[in-house]
Amino acid sequence: MGVFQYEARNRAGEFFAGTVEARDEREAAGLIRRRGLWVAALHLQCEEAAGAPAVSRWRQQLAGALAKTPPAKLRVLFLRQMAAMMQAGMPVHQALQALAKSDADRAYQSLLQQLLAGILAGRPLHERMAMHPAVFPVSLCGLVRAGEESGSLTQIFAQLADFEEHRYEAREALKSALLYPVILLVVSLVALVLMAVFVLPAFAVMLQDLQAELPWTTRFLLALMDFVSGHLAALLIGSALVVLASIALVRDMRTRTVLDGWLLKMPILGPLQRASAWRILLELFAVMLKNGIPLTTALAMAADVPANRHIACEMKALRTQVESGQPFAASLRQLTSCPRLLVELLMAGEVTGQFRMRVLAGHDAMMEKAAAFAAADARHRSARVEALAEPVMIFVVGGMIFFFVLSIVLPLLTTMDALV
pLDDT category of residue 295 using cuts at 50, 70 and 90: confident
Fold of 276-377: Receptor-associated Protein (1.20.81)
* From-to residues of CATH 3.10.20 in the chain: 1-66
Q: What is the pLDDT of residues 297-340, one digit of tens each?
A: 888 877 777 778 888 888 888 888 888 888 888 888 887 788 88
Residue 237 pLDDT: 92
Residue 351 pLDDT: 61
From 1, 411, 25, 23, select the one nearest 222 (Cα to Cα): 411
Residue 16 pLDDT: 65
* From-to residues of CATH 1.20.81.30 in the chain: 69-170
**Nearest-angstrom CA–CA distance, 310 and 300:** 16
The dihedrals phi and psi of 68, each to the nearest 5 degrees, come to: -65, 130
The dihedrals phi and psi of 337, each to the nearest 5 degrees, come to: -95, 20
Average pLDDT score, the chain? 76
Fold of 1-66: Ubiquitin-like (UB roll) (3.10.20)
pLDDT category of residue 49 using cuts at 50, 70 and 90: very low
Residue 54 pLDDT: 41
User: Which is it for the CA torsion 398, 404, 405, 406, positive or negative?
Assistant: positive
Predicted confidence (pLDDT) at residue 374 exceeds the cutoff of 60: yes
Ordered DSSP codes for 224-260: HHHHHHHTHHHHHHHHHHHHHHHHHHHHSHHHHHHHH
Alpha-carbon distances of 162 from 5, 85, 155, 287, rounded to whole Å: 32, 15, 11, 10
What number is the average pLDDT over the span 370-375?
A: 81
What number is the average pLDDT over the span 268-297?
A: 81
Q: What is the pLDDT of residues 141-157, one digit of tens each?
A: 878 887 787 777 888 88
Q: What is the pLDDT of residues 166-189, one digit of tens each?
A: 778 777 777 777 777 788 888 888
Global pTM value: 0.62
Fold of 69-170: Receptor-associated Protein (1.20.81)
Secondary structure of residue 3 in the 3-state scheme: strand
Q: Would you give the end-to-end CA distance of the chain in angstroms?
A: 85
Residue 321 pLDDT: 87
User: What single-letter DSSP state applies at residue 310?
Assistant: H
**Nearest-angstrom CA–CA distance, 290 and 298:** 11
Residue 363 pLDDT: 58
Residue 419 pLDDT: 60
Q: What is the pLDDT of residues 208-231, one digit of tens each?
A: 676 667 778 778 877 877 787 778
CA angle 37, 42, 48 (to 5 degrees): 115
Instruction: Please report, rounded to a whole number, the percentage of residues in the chain having pLDDT higher than 70.
Output: 82
Least confident of 9-23, 137-151, 381-395: 9-23
From 264, 257, 296, select the one nearest 278 (Cα to Cα): 264
From 168, 182, 388, 156, select the one nearest 279 (Cα to Cα): 168
